[in-house]
Amino acid sequence: MIGPQARAVDIAAAVRARRVSARDVAAAALARIAGRNAALNCFTHVRPDEALEEAARIDARVEAGEDVGPLAGVPFAVKNLLDVRGVTTLAGSKIFAERPPAARDATAVAALRRAGAVLVGTLSMDEFAFGFTTENPHYGPTRNPHDLARVPGGSSGGSAAAVAAGLVPLALGSDTNGSIRVPAAFCGIFGLKPTYGRVSRAGAALFAASLDHVGPFARSVADLAAAFDAIQGPDTRDPVASDAPVVPCAPHVGRDVEGLRLAVAGGHFARNAEPEALDAVRKVAKALRIRREVELPESHRARAAAMVITAVEGANLHFPDLKARAKDFDPLTRDRFLAGALLPASVYVQAQRFRAWYRARVAEIFREIDVLLTPTAPWPAPLIGAPRTRRVDDAEVIVRAHSGVFTQPLSFVGLPAMSVPLAAPGVLPLGIQLVAAPFGEPMLFRVAAHLERDGLVSAPLAGG
Amino acid sequence: MGESEVKQLAALVGLSIDPLDLPNVVVALRVLLGAADLVREFALADDVEAAPVFRP
């Protein structure tokens, strides 16, 4: 039988073999959502009738002997910043609630549906993706299924919470500075921020366009690979989509790490965190017998430049609303967007130029290594309503912003990065960030699958 | 950087900030200017240029 713990790849195999109907799988997912969403507040919209109809169509096609795709009958949900035909894309805002429903699916949503997956609903987020907590004042905070008093991370908090709780086996989110990886870490699941341009952003509400990525969440490496393979590839609808040949990652899940050059990141990535987050990296590094440490120079500055670019591009995008109706923004995003609108242009250009410098230094390092390990976040999930600042590593930091201290420098130069979960009974999960050179996703999957086989990383169902 | 300066700066770019929001915008701008200082103080050679479209 297919329960909440079932992997997407196993569901698809069972549906294709007619051991279970896609309709029953969808109905079970909808029942779980109905039972848990009031506590978690991770769905913004559920589409039961459409999902059941679509699932029944999958069953009819299976019955007719058609190939319905690698994700046949797999329920999934998407961050409500990706267009879903017939649903208004709120992007966590009150302002977009006035917009009409989307006329067509985002490219990544359409790709998963073409692969046979069944869309059951849309998921909560920080307003306009500008946050790491999903404490959304318009629609209420989303709660971490490991501890309802804690944030799920953000901005794709609804995506991570829904997958961690077993409401759906797959979800899509977006990541500008860490918005897939941070919630994946806080909720104890797998999350992939692909190489910049590898997955189309067409039909996604943009935040900071030169940093925006779309990617998947899952509770197993095989599921993450299946979802990524379904959505990766070129797209004429996205001006920055890469034309690089598509390399499927699912075949790499069974491969070992033999021959891969692995290293741990030092410097910036070995400071700025609670000891438990750094210990987690040491534990995984020991298991992988990693002895090499490398330093990505000026990573604190890379993070600063990413903050500048994010604030300026975001403020530019929302300038008309900041001017006409600033009061309708979430106070936390409004203040930062307004500040971004006031930065001098020369700083933005300098940040983009620094990006070229940092990208070149990082490229030199990745000529020597294949996969780099860092903590995903500096701590486990903070409490909802946590104080604005806290001390870590002898410095006073802003809690919300600092959650991205290790993710921001890497998305800044578009590197593929995956958060893999360390789980243990009675403690909050932590994430390890695996990082490769551009288009090095297959190597990330090899390392993640190796760690999963060894039992070092896993995503047991949370709560319930 | 105080509230009156931020108010003037906002007016220059065509924004009007509610006085109640002004203290928080000042805080947010100070954080960003700190980041901006880190970016600005790093000397880059003249031939380091931003790519018109960012490619990883």
Q: In whole angstroms, give the CA distance from residue B56 to residue B37.
A: 25
Residues making up chain A, counted from first to last: 464
Q: Which residues of chain A have pLDDT under 50?
A: none
Whether the CB of B22 is below 8 Å from some CB of chain A: the reply is: no
Indicate if the alpha-carbon torsion angle B23, B25, B26, B31 is positive or negative.
Answer: positive
Q: Is A200 a catalytic residue?
A: no
Interface test with A, best of B32, B41, B48 (most A CBs within 10 A): B32
Answer whether residue A48 is part of any domain. yes
DSSP string, A146-193: TBTTB---SSSHHHHHHHHTTS-SEEEEEESSSTTHHHHHHHTSEEEE
Q: In whole angstroms, give the CA distance from residue A165 to residue A148.
A: 11
Q: Model ipTM?
A: 0.96
Q: Which among A432, A446, A66 has a CA at the least distance from the CA of A250? A: A446
User: For chain B, where are the alpha helices, taking DSSP H only?
Assistant: 3-12, 22-40
Give the number of C-alpha atoms closer than 13 A to the C-alpha of residue A383, restricted to the C-beta side.
Answer: 7
Q: Are A418 and A193 in contact (CB under 8 A)?
A: yes
pTM: 0.98
**Inter-chain touch B21–A334, beta carbons under 8 Å:** yes
**Inter-chain touch B36–A338, beta carbons under 8 Å:** no
Interface test with B, best of A175, A196, A243, A338 (most B CBs within 10 A): A338
Place of tokens 């997407």: A8
Query: What residue spans define the domains of chain B?
Result: 3-39
Q: Which among A428, A336, A455 has a CA at the least distance from the CA of A151? A: A428
More confident call, A5 vs B56:
A5
Q: In whole angstroms, give the CA distance from residue A146 to residue A464.
A: 9
**Inter-chain touch B36–A343, beta carbons under 8 Å:** yes
- Give percent of chain A with pLDDT exceeding 70: 100
Q: Are A397 and A179 in contact (CB under 8 A)?
A: no
Q: Which among A351, A229, A240 has a CA at the least distance from the CA of A298? A: A351
Q: What is the pLDDT of residues A389-420, one digit of tens each?
A: 999 988 999 999 999 999 999 999 999 999 99
**Inter-chain touch A308–B40, beta carbons under 8 Å:** no
Which pLDDT belongs to residue A463?
Answer: 87
Give chain A positions within 8 Å (CB) of B54. Answer: 196, 210, 240, 352, 355, 414
Active-site choice (A93, A124, A159, A179) = A179
The DSSP element (H or E) to which A341 belongs, if any, is: helix A331-341
DSSP string, A83-137: -BBTB---TT-SGGGGSPPBSS--HHHHHHHHTT-EEEEEE--SGGG--SS-EET
**Inter-chain touch A240–B54, beta carbons under 8 Å:** yes
CB count in 10 Å sphere of residue A321: 17
| Residue A224 domain boundaries | 8-304+333-453
Q: In whole angstroms, give the CA distance from residue A424 to residue A433.
A: 18
Q: Are A194 and A229 in contact (CB under 8 A)?
A: no
Structure tokens at A118: 């069944």
3-class SS at A293? strand
Residues making up chain B, counted from first to last: 56
Which pLDDT belongs to residue A2?
Answer: 80
Of B9, B21, B53, the CB nearest to A240: B53
Which pLDDT belongs to residue B52?
Answer: 65
Residue B54 has pLDDT above 90, yes or no: no
Residue A180 distance to chain B (closest CA, Å): 18
Give chain A positions within 8 Å (CB) of B24. Answer: 331, 335
Q: Is A174 a catalytic residue?
A: no
What is the rounded average pLDDT for all residues in chain B?
Answer: 93
**In one letter, which amino acid is A307?**
M
Q: Is A179 a catalytic residue?
A: yes
Confidence of residue B51 (pLDDT cuts 50, 70, 90): confident
Q: Are A210 and A423 in contact (CB under 8 A)?
A: no
Domain count, chain A: 1
Q: Which among A162, A230, A143 has a CA at the least distance from the CA of A459? A: A162
Q: What single-letter DSSP state applies at residue A264?
A: E
Q: In whole angstroms, give the CA distance from residue A66 to residue A424.
A: 42
Answer whether residue A324 is part of any domain. no
CATH number, domain of A253, equals 3.90.1300.10
Q: From residue A172, how far is each of A110, A155, A169, A252, A410 by CA, in Å?
A: 12, 12, 11, 21, 20
Question: What residues have CB less than 8 Å from A179, skipping those under 6 apart?
Answer: A125, A126, A129, A132, A154, A155, A156, A173
Q: What is the pLDDT of residues A318-372, one digit of tens each?
A: 999 999 999 999 999 999 999 999 999 999 999 999 999 999 999 999 999 999 9
Answer whether residue A119 is part of any domain. yes
Q: From residue A278, how far is each of A230, A297, A345 by CA, in Å?
A: 34, 19, 37
